[in-house]
Amino acid sequence: MASWGEASESRLIGKRVTRLSGKDKVTGKAKYTFDINEPGMLYGRILRSETAHATVLGIDLSEAEALPGVKAVIPIIEVGNKLRYQGQEIAAVAADTDDIAKDAIRLIHVDLEELPSVVTEADAMAADAPQIREDWAGNQSEPNVREDGDINAGFTEAAVEVEATYHTPVQTHVCLETHGHVAKWEDEQNLTVWASTQGVFGVRNDFAQHFELPANQVRVITEHMGGGFGSKFGPGIEGRTAVELARITGKAVKLMLTRKDEHLVAGNRPSMTQQVRAGATSDGRLIAYDMKGYGTGGISSGAGFTGPYVYHVPNSRAERVNVAVNAGNQRAMRAPGHPQGAFAMDSLMDELAEKLGMDPVEFRRINDPNEVRQAQYTLGAQEIGWHRRNHVPGSGTGVKKRGMGLGSGQWGGGGGRGTEARVTINADGTVEAVTGTQDIGTGIRTVIAMIVAEEFGLDITDVRVNVGDSQPGLPSGGSGGSQTTPSVAPVIKTAAAAAKQKLFERIAPLLEAPVGDLRVGTGTIYVVSDRTKTITWKQAAGQLGMDSISEGGTWDEELRQNGAAGTQFAEVEVDTQTGALRVIKIVAVQDCGLAINRLTTESQINGGVIMGLGQAILEERFMDPETGRMLNANLEDYKVPGTFEIPEIQSIVFDTHRKVTGVGEPPCIPTPGAIANAVYNAIGVRIRSLPITPDKILDALAEKA
Amino acid sequence: MEKFSYVNATSLEQVTSLLSESGWGEVMLIAGGTDLLAELKEYIETPKTLINLKTLPGMDSIEADASGLRIGALATVADISMHPTIQHHYTVLSQAAGSVATPQIRNVGTLGGNLCQRPRCWYYRDEATDCLKKGGDICYAIDGLSKYHAILGGDPVYIVHPSDLAPALIALGASVKIVGPEGEKSMSLEEFFTLPAANPFRENVLEPNEIVVEVSVPAPKPNTRSFYLKAREKGAPDFALSSVAGVFEMDGKTCKTASIVLGGVAPAPWRSKEAEAAVTGKMIDESVSQQAGSDAVKDAEPLNDNAYKVTLTQNLVSRAAMMAAS
């Protein structure tokens, strides 16, 4: 049975290893899609709707076409069709410079018939709201209902009840590198595209299909990628537009979204509003849960969220509805549906615990069936110093009050089939590992090098890793769902093992030992029964003469496992005069199975916590009901955490077994709930709406007083 | 942005003469450019000519002597924040300068630009929104989203003045020197700023052909304590939700004179004579400071989303007063 071996035997696996591309990134040597410049390259720009809802009556491209330096102008939307949100694509240009392209799109004249728009959930659900989706009566989808047990019977048994409404607004991904592509036709049948994407093969297949090309004649390259968080799978309209502009002009075209575009059309995490009533028995068992909620994913569906989430409730009913508004579509965003659901559920848990007079940790122990998290509660409480919390919320003295809270999360991350990989040993001893996955900043390049180097007894720098390129024809899935490492690592491991086996077979006669007796040392191969028989790796490879060994791998399910439990504890300080909220510390205990690279795993946890922190205390998309426009499509008023906001983060890699589980998404889930509960513990007033900003804190304190 | 021609300034005469060739918006001045460039990129301003002021010699000096400070309009925000005399004797100004934006912006942003910067209002900054400030019919903040808008002096435009330096300088009794085609004039910085009721399109009294060249600050009286308290949602960069510049001439715990100027809550830096009166001549204690806070906001008229600014401002004023006495 395949295994990653014992920790004591590992030289690299499970250790903290600096990522291979780190130096290139901090020195600027690493080339992102944004950095690609081809000779004679043109710049693409897209004219987007500034109106939330309108019918296109006419598009006049002539003035843009006449601007010197403009090489192509193409319509995207057809006359007669509807624009349904600000930012929707109307037309595009390619020009000699980005400035000319920007000027040119302003010379495209669009004749519109404006239609009434709705941009808030409340307005969309109002009785007299304009119908903005023909297939949804009242702008609402059919409810998704899930029932378990008998909630009426459950409430009869309940000793305490809580009824509350929780809300999280739309959050956008804020990828540091905006979405975009550089497209170049090598000839009429061969297309190369540098794409800022989470899935080079998905993008390749989309282009092949859309432009009717053989898939093996489309090459998609993503050497480095500046953040996707779920928003960068398909090429999008902007990707197809870049390729089309390149086709028409016969030149390479770079088309990157602007920051404003990014907020408007490149995806978002849907909002959530839920009314929930829940009850618990006097001995602290959750007994009934009745939730009705809605969210908006813009004009599209996809606004689901979890509830009652990780806690066991024998009698529950959950009803969720999608609400359509005139705003850009949602896309998957780091643990879709989880952070907003977790925030509501963990807030609810604390409200129930208080009514029961029970410690929030104890209340979770009773109701959380997950054994891993049970252990994490103990560790997290110990690390944050849970005994220091206010036993009576808000009881701290002074202007600045401190408090503690916790939240929970659960994810899969078990990976899947669909990755092809090849590990090659050359006669000069050099090693290559090739697969069509992509390193979206999470460190898979380094993980691959570590696995191969461990298998061969080499250093990671001895392994050349080729990822983020479809041309070798070794497909792998998109990097989403925390699936990259659990999907890729087993294939690399088995490929490396197969290559090693082949090499052993070649040199066994030389060492006069059976293949089964050979082992790798550090840069050597030796015979386990007679350690005097040893040769260097280089000498061994030299036996290949003019050959190379090149082996594929298989996805061995024994090498990975699904399921990642997490819990986080937060300590905060609230200035009760100014409403300023400072998160002091987050203890993030995250189950992830075998962390192949402990350092990049910790980075993942840090990143998740920071993203959760942004959702908890800063981030919100503001839509103006009157104009239908986003008011903060920038990074001034759409606020993301900076160095002043980021607290001490104690990232605890809580490894429970030696199988690989992905950890990209789960660390952002428990953070908002933990912070919200800590704020309550500090000031004794509950904020049931994210983000927890000074205005809400001051208003809540004023209401309490 | 639209194309423009770029002229290096050689003298103030040349600058005012170029400015006199047209009205607002045709010829504009650029120094650090941290505000103007954003306006150009968003097509909020589309000047034909930009005059680069950085080529004017000597206008970036900071002179400090027994009589006070003279700060050239081209002095950077960073230079002001880190000037030792300002740090020691004009603390409110140093703190205000240090709270501006980010180190990168402070390194290029200038005193003149900081005083003359345009509002951050999200309706004003959106090219496609034709708001009253830009010549349209309505101030969208009144019925729209008004979290960051004015609670005092708003009618008919509810922007807030974004400057941190202005409240601090006004609290210190600064005056501003302005040069126009007819020569130079000085006025108190407090009078330099105007409310939208007087002119909804501008935030100060500058004519299209005038330029701010210097700010003078009298030396604080002995036993003066001063503070700049700035509340914001984010550590940096962020503009004030509310700020208080307080300058207190103290005798022990008794306040002999006070000047208290609010930022982030009104379309101009807002001098609170009410709060000043509440502390002047009083021994500052909890109750006096509370009174100062509530007096500062007694005329506040919040919009839909910014009632919190009333509480916040009240508390900041009280806190500043308590700090003066502690």
Closest CA–CA distance from residue A697 to any residue of chain B (Å): 9
Q: Do residues A166 and A689 touch, judged by C-beta distance below 8 A?
A: yes
pLDDT in tens, B108-123: 999 999 999 999 999 9
Percent over 70 (pLDDT), chain B: 100
Dihedral sign from CA coordinates of A26, A31, A37, A43: negative
Taking CB atoms and an 8 Å cutoff, what residues of chain A touch B144? 624-627
Calculated CA dihedral for residues B169, B170, B175, B178, nearest 10 degrees? 80
What are B254's strand-pairing partners? B251, B283
What strand order describes the sheet that includes A524-527? A518-520, A524-527, A530-536
CB contacts, 8 Å: A579 with chain B: 231, 308, 312
Alpha-carbon span A622 to B146, nearest angstrom: 11
Asked whether the bond before A270 is cis by omega within 30 degrees of 0, the reply is no
**What is the three-class DSSP state of B215?**
strand
Write out residues 282-321 of A within 8 Å (CB-CB) of B: none
Which residues in chain A are closer than 8 Å to B315, comparing Cβ atoms?
577-578
A87 Cβ contact list (under 8 Å, min separation 6): A48, A49, A260, A261, A264, A265, A328, A630
Flag whether residue A690 sits within 8 Å of chain B, measured between CB atoms. no
Smallest CA–CA separation between B314 and chain A, in Å? Answer: 9
Q: B235 to chain A: which residues are within 8 Å by CB? A: 642-645
CA–CA separation, B303 and B154 (whole Å)? 10
Mean per-residue pLDDT, A104-127? 98
Residues of B with Cβ-Cβ distance to A647 under 8 angstroms? none
Greatest Cα pair distance in chain B: 59
CB–CB contact B306 A695 (8 Å): yes
The 3-state DSSP class for residue A10 equals coil
Find the DSSP H helices in chain B.
12-19, 36-41, 77-82, 84-89, 91-98, 103-108, 111-116, 165-171, 189-192, 273-279, 286-296, 308-325
Whether A618 contacts chain B with CB within 8 A: yes
CA–CA gap between residue A194 and residue A221 (Å, rounded): 5
Choose among A166, A121, A173, A122: nearest CA to A341.
Answer: A166
Q: Is A122 on the interface with B (CB under 8 A)?
A: no
Check if B50 contacts A (Cβ < 8 Å). Answer: no
User: Pick from A537, A645, A501: which is nearest to A586 by CA?
Assistant: A645
Torsion of CA A636, A638, A641, A642, to 10 degrees: -10
Dist. CA A166–CA A293, nearest whole Å: 9
Among residues A465, A518, A469, A473, the alpha carbon closest in space to that of A492 is found at A465
Mutate to test the interface with B, among A634, A690, A698, A704 (most CBs of B within 10 A): A698
What fold characterizes domain A268-413+561-704? Aldehyde Oxidoreductase; domain 4 (3.30.365)
Cross-strand partners of B193: B204
Contacts of B28 (CB under 8 A, 6+ apart): B36, B45, B47, B49, B50, B51
- Minimal Cα distance from B229: which residue of A? A578
pLDDT computed for residue A2 by the predictor: 86
**Residue positions counted in chain A:** 705
Q: Which residues of A touch B140 (CB under 8 A)?
A: 624, 626-627
Q: Which of residues 33-72 of A touch B (CB under 8 A)?
A: 50
Judge: B312–A626 Cβ closer than 8 Å, yes or no. no
- Over residues A65-93, mean pLDDT: 98
Nearest alpha carbon to residue A311 among A608, A570, A567, A561 = A567
Please tell me which of the candidates B128, B233, B305 has its beta carbon nearest to residue A694: B233
Is B145–A693 a contact, with Cβ atoms under 8 angstroms apart?
Answer: no
Task: Give B251's strand partners.
Answer: B254
Cβ contact (<8 Å) for B231 and A644?
no
Residue-wise pLDDT for A630-653, tens only, equals 999 999 999 999 999 999 999 999
Domain with CATH 3.30.365.10 in chain A: 7-30+415-559, 268-413+561-704
Spatial contact of B193 and B268, defined as CB atoms under 8 Å apart: yes
Minimum distance, in Å, between the CA of residue B119 and any CA atom of chain A: 13
pLDDT for residue A678 is more than 90: yes
Distance, in Å, from the CA atom of A490 to the CA atom of A1, rounded to the nearest integer, reads: 12
Q: Judge contact between B189 and B175, C-beta under 8 A.
A: yes
Q: How far apart (Å, rounded) are the C-alpha atoms in residues B204 and B210?
A: 11
Closest partner residue to A627 (CB to CB) among B129, B233, B238 is: B129
Domain spanning A33-115+179-256: CATH 3.90.1170.50: yes
Q: Which of A622, A645, A694 sits opposite B231 (nearest CB)?
A: A694
When scoring A636, A685, A689 by the number of chain B Cβ atoms within 10 A, the one with the most, hence best to mutate, is: A636
Q: Residue A454 — very low, low, confident or very high, per pLDDT cuts 50/70/90?
A: very high
- Record: contact A644-B235, CB cut-off 8 A: yes
Residue from the list B145, B233, B311 with its beta carbon closest to the beta carbon of A693: B233
Nearest C-alpha neighbor of A425 from the set A508, A497, A533 = A497
Region A446-473 average pLDDT:
98
CA–chain centroid gap for A465, Å, is: 23
- The predicted model gives B293-306 an average pLDDT of 98
Coil/strand/helix, residue A480? coil
- Residue-wise pLDDT for A611-620, tens only, equals 999 999 999 9
Minimal CA separation from B147 to chain A, in Å: 8
Minimal Cβ distance to B231: which of A580, A632, A641: A580
For residue A631, the distance in angstroms to the closest alpha carbon of chain B comes to 6
Any A CB within 8 A of B234 CB: yes
- Residues 532-591 (A) with a CB less than 8 A from some CB of B: 577-580
Q: Which of A637, A687, A689, A693 to mutate to test the interface with B (most CBs of B within 10 A)?
A: A637
Nearest to B312 among A579, A636, A641 (CB): A579
Residue A1: band (very low, low, confident or very high) from pLDDT cuts 50, 70, 90: low
d(CA B26, CA B48): 5
* A702/B306 touch (CB, cutoff 8 Å), yes or no: no
Reduced to 3 states, what is the DSSP secondary structure of residue B265?
Answer: coil
Q: Which of A399, A627, A645 is the best substitution to test chain B (most B C-beta atoms within 10 A)?
A: A627
Nearest to A642 among B122, B126, B235 (CB): B235
Which of B144, B308, B318 is closest, CB to CB, to A698?
A: B308
Domain A7-30+415-559 has CATH 3.30.365.10: yes
**A102 to chain B: nearest residue by CA?**
B1
Class of the CATH domain delimited by B224-325: alpha beta
Q: Output the pLDDT for position B300.
A: 98
CATH 3.90.1170.50 residue window(s) in chain A = 33-115+179-256
- Whole-Å CA distances, B230 to A192, B150, B291, B294, B298: 52, 16, 20, 18, 20
Distance CA A278, CA A289 (A): 4
Cβ of residue A258 closer than 8 Å to a chain B Cβ:
no
